[in-house]
Structure 1
């Protein structure tokens, strides 16, 4: 799986968090055990502000227990809604005790306005609380807290109770208590019960401070609602000053990123009830600017209780969220962001409203250019220009309803229920129905990821069709760029794509050689994987005489225990081939130095040569005592013919171009009295390259330089063979992890990265019709990673790509094998 990125996530993790806020909301709640005695009962930060009646901020406690609680070593503490690196908790020490069923009033800072003083406080501090959003903690010590995330605060045993309100990062449960104002506080609902869900335990209403002398009363707040609690209809609520198109703006990052917004109107168009939970809203009254989207995702973290068709007002914090891969930072990630409304308060105005009509995607409105060439610059530094590229266009309709009609599948379903379709059915069509990569940075513009927003998996393969309308919203995922999050999928019409079977050799004098990446094959893999690989070798590859295998793991698989031998893995496969009706293959391999050849950590993947010694003889060269892992085989002249000092051997294995990468395995075979040189490869992977779907365009391919170096070293080795015998039979094959038009393949063929040197090899993939030039399907793009190249001495080769894996939902490997037949 040389092109695959590591995936560990829930469905559509590109929206699995709304920045830091959303990521924290999924963590354990602070004070996970509900308080049965003293709780924070009311918080108010608008004291003395414009329009306020009360002069001071306050925090009110309540004792739900049946016995007094001594507070003399306790404190209440406050931190801002979005604490930074230097932000600290502000501490107000408490004194005395709180009676059973009683209240306790903590007076905080005064503003310049207000007309009424608080009741006599039981404790006094000088904390200037926010009037709209913040976090208050009741702590059983008077030492300042250090936690700044929900997860860290949950782990602090000194926190007895905690309330985050508005858009606070730190809160209990799946959502904050409602945002407050200069005239409203947040009070715990009737009975003062604590369920550790700030979003449902508290409501906003008129401040009602009570001290220890007060007769306990139940606050009577004005009803409000929070993100995942049941929205409370408030017919008198009115839209705020901003619309969705104002929030999305004409830039890639929202002009209001980080701002709190109030009463943004929209119609609920779709729900996401699995993975990253939330819902989409869209404004039915768009502006006239095609660059500004009218849709946005509202991240709730728990199952939303709004319904499709609800007309809502959403107050929330705007967050442009970037999903970061391992090692990424906000400055280095090549992923684009998703604009979301996080930690929302939702008011439902009406239900059963008509949804905005979806945009029907087709060649008529989706641009022909997938991404603009910006010389590697960040596309976010440019304005959204919908007609410029596919990336621009989908950004301009991010979060809006779209429709793809009779969409043909060009990338099969994976285990996450992701698949790819084309909205341009005549674009770059392969002979089996995929969408082909025809040049560097030429991603087919009709390609679009589709994922059902309910998490279902349709298990479709290339050539299948979603007939009728597939309707949903435009989202973004780091695993495949823009995605149609489908509320409804078209009916699947099977294309019944048949696996390819190679034509067997027509003469006993023809030698057949194949290459097959078996995707991290290990002894612990299911017997069915071995059986399917064996069946493919016997039936679809027609029992090749020689097979170069890539990604064969050691005997302990991915366990990093120092094991490097792979005889158990190989013997299990060869036994499965015999059981499938094939020959008993012999093999040659060189164990790598532990953890030096890249691939899955601990797996020690390597290339292996299987051969049918009833048809072909392996020519062993070199002493058995030689350390072939680190010793280079050399080309020498033997009576005017090229010969190897080590067979099997490695080509210059200590050269830095092979660092953390597989080393080529070179061998001599004898067939019909002729010598055939076979070089099996697995070049450096594309992992670490910037995304074709990301913000840097065109994306940097940091791995390309190493592959070009590897190709050059191998070219020079082959040149030595041909210098001795011009028409020597040389076959170079394997997973080269690059395209037929790449600098690496040019270097391998000609010794120059631009391909201007004399060619000593023919890349057989280029001899096929253009619509057949692919060996792999990467995120809906049919492309070439695997190659067989032959030297000029090999004439009239019969070459076939055997499509049995990459186009299918149920794959044995992610690569398709190939085979060449020729007469030495």
Structure 2
């Protein structure tokens, strides 16, 4: 994160006259009761200095911990105040109280803007940080009271209210956002930090320290898990982002689970999140081990009683992609060359070159050849190319879903390839009108989104199996989980709801023909298990994470902000659940460094009995 806290100086409306403490300036709510007013004789201890201002702590704080005793003081580049103070000084200043945000989707930060009339009271005073986890402990489970009333941070409908409008009184002992607000501007220490993410483009990293956390996975990250009470899902408000160091140094790169040196810095709100700006660069104390996970333990038995099925979002894979050989390595080495693979984000052969080409045959043939070189397995592939520019993703890339399958075990049943606009249907038997074929591609739910690909295969010495490959609408347009909209905007959720209902209806039609049908629905659903779209499959198809009792903390395939989270799922029909299925997520990308990851998703592998 580039450190750029700044404010607009406003002409004075009126002065409060009598001096106020910093605690009184902050007040008990998220926005200051002194907003847009001038204040005089504000006295405080300088705790930290940054490139655009400094942080001031009350020398006479009140006893209410809901009101922060510290505040950020913005000074323009032309001011001389910053050069005349040092950490440990007690000073008195005049200024204007403003609530600043760089984007209307964010929360406000209370600031003293354009200070003047600096008077130094004393120097060399001791500055002690608040030790998090000891003196004050972050909150788990809930972000805000507004979210809780709505049914949780992922409740639907979302964006029902704005924090900036409600200006709720801080309840720092109940809600995560209120806890961090009660420390806004404060110098804090984070003991024993653990990295929860890789660095952002600006070097930011999410951490937790030595305090209570929930959803802790075996790697050290925090996974989104079922919520408590009315909180829906627990998305870990106890985590904190570490931003750009105040001294201009750069944070060391991190990986999930790395142990870091103790961090001291100031709490602020910037670019949509509560953030600790460290006094100096974050340093890695020890790397998480092992550096990469072991390969899947699931091996094909090469019979219908134990065939393996993989699922992998290969992130904009094209013929000229530098990571195509690495994807092949992952399929062979980490996924064990599954007998059948669900792929998402396969681009056309010339990738993001917007040429009008939509064929992916060369891309899939090159991937199949790379797998064959490494394993001896000769995959066939099945795909339906999209209409140019109609399926979203990287412009020109025309991403789509596709299948790789080992012809030693799988044979397309009565193959009848549909076109990009043909809708396959469930026929008596059950059979498919087009095999493979797209599910309801004209439905507005799929506008600028990948259409699901349905197919049915005969299994050697086994039954026929129906497969449905999905890549639902992305979460683009979402708001920050710590932003103004409450509950936060879950971008595309209405489309994903309609998409899930469409696929669930299609599955129901197969089951109406044959309750014992063997069906696998897999892919990038772009949604969490605990959110409404995934509930469309309740009673129709069953999540293998639940069926195989994978611990909730280990259910993740993706890292985003503070959370290890699961966007990729494999659902199966009831008949398959009764045959001792096995399932694993292979964290070859989430555990990797930013430079070493091949995709932003982890692959998953299942071992299933698809005999008659």
Q: TM-score range by the shorter chain?
A: 0.7 to 0.9
CA contact (8 A) 1:267 1:353 kept: no
Instruction: Give the match for residue 789 of structure 1.
Output: 571
CA contact (8 A) 2:204 2:241 kept: yes
Instruction: Give the match for residue 474 of structure 1.
Output: 267
- Find 1:438's aligned residue among 210, 225, 242: 225
Instruction: Give the match for residue 600 of structure 1.
Output: 394
Instruction: Give the match for residue 22 of structure 2.
Output: 244
Alignment of 1:357-756 (within 5 A): 357-362=128-133, 365-371=137-143, 372=145, 373-375=148-150, 376-380=160-164, 381=166, 382-423=168-209, 424-425=211-212, 427-439=214-226, 440-453=232-245, 454=248, 456-467=250-261, 469-478=262-271, 481-488=273-280, 489=282, 492-497=285-290, 498-509=292-303, 510-522=306-318, 525=321, 527=322, 529-578=323-372, 580-581=374-375, 583-619=377-413, 621-622=415-416, 628-637=419-428, 641-673=429-461, 674-701=463-490, 703-748=492-537, 750=538
Cα separation, partners in 2 of 1:562 and 1:728, compared to 1, 3 Å: same
CA contact (8 A) 2:219 2:288 kept: no
Distance 1:359 1:286 in 2: 14
Q: CA deviation at 1:571?
A: 4.5
Distance 2:48 2:376 in 1: 53
Secondary structure of the equivalent of 2:575? coil
Instruction: Give the match for residue 221 of structure 1.
Output: none
CA contact (8 A) 2:222 2:553 kept: no
Deviation larger for 550-559 or 812-821 = 550-559
Displacement over 6 Å in runs of 4+: none
CA contact (8 A) 1:367 1:389 kept: yes
Instruction: Give the match for residue 561 of structure 2.
Output: 779
1:765 is the counterpart of 2:518: no
Larger Rg: 1
Q: CA deviation at 1:667?
A: 1.7
Distance 1:17 1:520 in 2: 38
Distance 2:560 2:53 in 1: 29
Alignment of 1:3-402 (within 5 A): 11=2, 15-18=4-7, 21=8, 241-262=19-40, 264-273=42-51, 277-300=52-75, 302=77, 305=83, 307-324=86-103, 330=104, 333=105, 335-345=106-116, 347=118, 349=120, 353-362=124-133, 365-371=137-143, 372=145, 373-375=148-150, 376-380=160-164, 381=166, 382-402=168-188
Secondary structure of the equivalent of 2:193? strand
CA contact (8 A) 1:437 1:443 kept: yes
Distance 1:815 1:483 in 2: 26
Distance 1:286 1:686 in 2: 43
How many matched pairs?
570
Cα separation, partners in 2 of 1:356 and 1:287, compared to 1, 3 Å: farther
Distance 1:272 1:581 in 2: 55
Cα separation, partners in 2 of 1:785 and 1:519, compared to 1, 3 Å: same
Ranges in structure 1 where 5+ consecutive residues have no aligned partner: 1-9, 22-80, 83-129, 134-238, 325-329, 751-758
Q: CA deviation at 1:449?
A: 1.6
TM-score using structure 2 length = 0.84
Distance 2:43 2:284 in 1: 33
Measured against aligned partners, the alpha-carbon deviations of 1:550-575 in whole angstroms (never above 9, x if no partner) come to: 22233454455544333454445445
Distance 1:240 1:675 in 2: 82
Secondary structure of the equivalent of 1:715? helix
Distance 2:35 2:320 in 1: 48
Secondary structure of the equivalent of 1:281? strand
Ranges in structure 2 where 5+ consecutive residues have no aligned partner: 151-159, 227-231
Q: CA deviation at 1:822?
A: 1.6
TM-score using structure 1 length = 0.64
Cα separation, partners in 2 of 1:602 and 1:378, compared to 1, 3 Å: same
Secondary structure of the equivalent of 2:190? strand
Q: CA RMSD in A?
A: 3.1
Instruction: Give the match for residue 176 of structure 1.
Output: none
Q: CA deviation at 1:694?
A: 2.5
Q: CA deviation at 1:493?
A: 2.2
Secondary structure of the equivalent of 1:629? coil
Deviation larger for 675-684 or 289-298 = 289-298
Distance 1:536 1:250 in 2: 53
Q: CA deviation at 1:301?
A: 6.0
Distance 2:396 2:46 in 1: 48
Q: CA deviation at 1:523?
A: 5.0
Cα separation, partners in 2 of 1:478 and 1:665, compared to 1, 3 Å: farther
Deviation larger for 278-287 or 781-790 = 278-287
Measured against aligned partners, the alpha-carbon deviations of 1:414-445 in whole angstroms (never above 9, x if no partner) come to: 33222222233553222322222222342224
Measured against aligned partners, the alpha-carbon deviations of 1:157-176 in whole angstroms (never above 9, x if no partner) come to: xxxxxxxxxxxxxxxxxxxx
Cα separation, partners in 2 of 1:519 and 1:259, compared to 1, 3 Å: farther
Distance 1:620 1:342 in 2: 73
- Find 1:803's aligned residue among 566, 572, 587: 587
Q: CA deviation at 1:584?
A: 4.1
Q: Which has the higher contact order (CA 8 A, sep 6+)?
A: 2
Instruction: Give the match for residue 74 of structure 1.
Output: none
Instruction: Give the match for residue 105 of structure 1.
Output: none
Cα separation, partners in 2 of 1:580 and 1:665, compared to 1, 3 Å: same
Cα separation, partners in 2 of 1:452 and 1:493, compared to 1, 3 Å: farther
CA contact (8 A) 1:319 1:342 kept: yes
